[in-house]
Amino acid sequence: MGQQLTYSDGLAIRFLYEGVDLGELDAHLSAQLLPRQLREASTKMGGRLIEIGTEVFPSAELEAYRAMVTTGGAAGHQPLAFAVVARSLGVPFEEALAAYLFATVTSLTQNAVRAIPLGQNSGQRLLRKAHDDVAAAVEHVRHLSWDDFGAVSPGLEISQMRHEWQRARMFMS
């Protein structure tokens, strides 16, 4: 929560809400997501969200992002697609960011329940604790600057890059 979700995804969502150019944010995310698997996962999920969002929650801004992605002018990252949909629906920034962060934590927890095995009860306890962590992350993102955008632990990124070369993986990144 205190690394990539806050300093990359969280700040990207905040900057979009503040009016920073969508194409610029998309390019920065592409450059900052060093592990190939993370970049591909972000754009794969973002692309699906753009397609679904265009059908279910159509808006001029989402259609413009879709056009940028279709023509190769943008990659279509998940946090930006989510933020475009949320903002076009009038969801306030703090609520949108909290929803995005909690959805991500929920997905990771579900994977842990299946992979470790963590167990359903432990998974639910983790999700309850995550509420406090999400609230703290939302507050923290409000106070960060452009210079903080993409500031994540090199050790975490190196581990993520090593992961793509493992022989067997349980989940698609």
Span 8-21, pLDDT tens digits: 999 999 999 999 99
Under the banding of pLDDT at 50, 70 and 90, the label for residue 152 is confident
Query: Could you identify the residue written with the tokens 């159509």?
Result: 58
> What is the average pLDDT score of the chain?
87
Would you state the pLDDT for residue 44? 95
Residues 6+ apart with CB under 8 A from 150: 7, 8, 11, 28, 31, 32
Could you report the per-residue pLDDT of 68-78, keeping only the tens digit for each?
999 999 999 99
pLDDT value at residue 2 = 64
**Identity (one letter) of the amino acid at 112?**
A
The more confidently predicted of residues 4 and 173 is: 4
Q: What is the pLDDT of residues 75-125, one digit of tens each?
A: 999 999 999 999 999 999 999 999 999 999 998 888 778 878 778 888 888
pLDDT of 34 strictly over 90:
no
CA–CA separation, 25 and 151 (whole Å): 15
DSSP for 9-69, please give it: IIHHHHHHHTT--HHHHHHHHHHH--SHHHHHHHHHHHHHHHHHHHHHS--HHHHHHHHHH
- Report d(CA 33, CA 26) in Å as an integer: 11
Asked if residue 144 has pLDDT above 80, the reply is yes
- Phi-psi label, residue 9: left if phi above 0, alpha if psi -120 to 50, beta otherwise: alpha
Structure tokens at 21: 């150019």
Number of Cβ atoms within 10 Å of the Cβ of 75: 19
* Residue 37 confidence (pLDDT): 77
CATH classification for the domain delimited by 4-163, as one of 3.20.20.410, 1.10.1060.10, 1.20.1730.10, 1.10.4190.10: 1.10.4190.10
Q: What is the pTM of this model?
A: 0.85
